[in-house]
Each structure stands twice: as C-alpha cells, then as structure tokens.
Structure 1
Amino acid sequence: MIDNRKRIRMPEGNIVRGLFRLARGDAGGVSEFGNTTRAFSASIAPLLAFPIVGAALFGIAGHWMLAGLMLASRICGVLLQPVITEFGARRANSSATWLMTSTALNWSVWLVFPLILIGILITNGLITLGLSEPTAVGVSFASILLYMFWIQWFILRTGLRLSVLGALTLLIAMNVAIAVVYIAPYVLHPELITLTLHPDAK
C-alpha cells in the first residue's frame, strides 16, 4: 500500500451529501468522503459484515463448506476494489487520492437501494404505458446496472483524475475480477447454487 505521507489530508464531509452530489454528476462530491484510513475503514466495514453474517447463517444450517467458500469469495471480492483502485492510482500518478476514491466507491454501493425503489416506480409506469411486465422489469434492471456502472466510472475518473478511456478500462477490469471471484465457488461446486437458493436442503 502507498505511504500515508503521500496522501492529501482532506476534512471529512457528509456521506449522504457526498452521495447526492455524485449521483447528480458533481465531481466535488468525492471530497466529502475524506482521505483517511478511518474514513476508508468505516466505508468497508459494512461490506465485510454482510458476508460474515451470511456465512454464519449457512454454517448454522450445517453447510460449512458453502459457508467457507462463500465467505472467502465475498471477502476477496470486497477487498479487490481497493487493491485495484490503488494499482490504478499508482499507474496514473494519483496516489494522493486513491484512498478517498476507494472510500467513495464503497459508499456508492448503497445507492442501489434507492435505485431499486425508483426502478419499481419506473416498472409500474412502463406497465401502465402498455409494456409487458418482463420487458418493463428488464428495462428497469438494465437502467439500474447502467447507472451504477456510470457512477463508479465517474468516481474513478474524478477521484483519480483519469481519462474517459482510462477510467472505463479500470472499471471494467475491476468488475470482471470481482465477478470471477464471486462466480468461482459455483464453478468449483455446482451444487452451491441449489444450496444458496434453498439453504434448508440437505
């Protein structure tokens, strides 16, 4: 990891305000997240807690192998983002703000929940206009994915001062790496799909 002395010290702002600013394309929203290890730790702790709780529930149900594989893949997936962000920052000579950028990326994940609510409204509206339910759901789901992809690209571009193509390349590499880590347990053990969907199955 990069020496702490190379980071730019920025006062921590308001996370909600930062997310709102980023959501509407305000590059200054990145600075709301702080550029300290404390801010980063606060952003990644919830993302690490969910896999731990989920693995514990599978373990209690008696599926210890599933619990171990899922925990390992999810933890690795969460940690890949800061690792790849730090790597991209070094390549772009933006080491001073990589921690702030990674922190903003961690918090941006939670935007998916209000987006889902908006997606439900859009789906209902499209159905009212005459679209079939599967088509309306597909349009809403694709819109959410595209928006999440855009906001992560926006954070990388503004936080690390990357070019349009540079931010896009880094984001694609990051998402592909995370997807591979998440999918790997199912490839190694196909029965995990059934156990994940029906954890009570023996």
Structure 2
Amino acid sequence: MTSEFQLNEEAAHHLVGVLRLKAGHEFLAFDGTGQEARTRILQTRPHVLVEVLEVCRPQVEPEVSVTLFLALVKGERFDWAVEKSTELGVSSLVPMVTRRTEVRHPGEERRGRWQRLAVSAAAQSGRVQVPEIETPLDFAQALDRASGFEQAFLLKPGGVSLPGSRADRVALLVGPEGGFSDEEVREAQVRGLLLVGLGPRTLRVETAALAALARIIQT
C-alpha cells in the first residue's frame, strides 16, 4: 500500500455517507491480497484521501486454498453462496454449468455483481484476501481445471465421507439440484476425482457447498 491513496466511490460512500467518518478518523483497510493497514482520513472533499499509518499481514486466511466449482442455481441463492463461501474462506469460486444445470452462462454484469458481493463479505468477515469470482465454465472445462489440483473432490450423495485435506490446493465440485449425470460422474472418476458425500440427508446446492467447504478448511 502507498503512503496516501484515494478511496474509490463505493468505499468512500460507505465510510463517509454510511458510517459518517470525518477527517482525522482512523479505520482498518485491506487491499484484497493479504495486506491490512491502519489508516487515517485526511480529507473527505472533493474526494476521500487517506494516509497509511501502519501495514501488517495478519494470519487470518485458511492454510488450505480451496477453489469451489459451483453449479449455477436460480434466483438469489447463488448470491448467498458467494457471500457465505467468502466468509468461510474460499480462495476462488468458479460458476459451473453442468448437464442438469437449469441456469445458463451469466453475463459479465452478473459476474461483476458477484465479485462486489465477495469484496463486501471479505470486509465484513475480517478477511484480507478477496476470492476471485472466475469466468463460468462448463463441466468439461471445470474438470480439466480440477484435475490439476493436489486434491479434487466431487460431491455426490452416497460418496465416501469427506476426508480432511492434507494438500495446499483443493478443488471442490458441487453439482445442481438434480445432481451430476452418470456420465459426468464417470468422467470425474476417470480423471482421478474422489466422490465424497455429507451423509444421508438431501441438501440444497448452496447448503452442501458450504458444509463441504467448512469441513475441508477446518480439518
């Protein structure tokens, strides 16, 4: 972080318009890449200018880096999944279109909205890194990516109990409401992905994703 910098419009509005901070007030800022800084507001007009007082790299991020490949779902449920997976510590999130996905590839405007939600959730939860919401992939593309990770799991009812991770980089694939097709499951097994489950209950897509993510990160 530089010694002085100007806040973008959204951050400036939150600090001055919502929190009512004024020149001289101090607050914690983060750059999304792991650095956090104690800062002071120098001016609020015509723009918000702040100075950096102290920089640190707090150890608040998970030791394991998890990329979540999550099948698109309708409505605001995907928004919710972006927020909560960010709070839990996901490193990146890849929207995924599978054979049974009812939602097709979203546009850049929607992906931009998801990225803004991730920034907000990271700030709210005290993280110093913001996960990237990547360009949506179809299942074959997601499988190509996931097979290159140290560990790769595909969530499926009846799969083995999700083990703790001993890897630095983990891929987690979570399918749509109807689950992965038999062909997709076979393709994943051929590529070396482990089929894992979360017990006997039928969970919604976003619930299953968060439960699996929490188990991987916290074990």
Q: Which has the higher strand share?
A: 2
Task: Give the TM-score, by structure 2 length.
Answer: 0.25
Q: Which has the higher helix share?
A: 1
The one of the two structures with greater contact order (alpha-carbon pairs below 8 A, sep at least 6) is 1
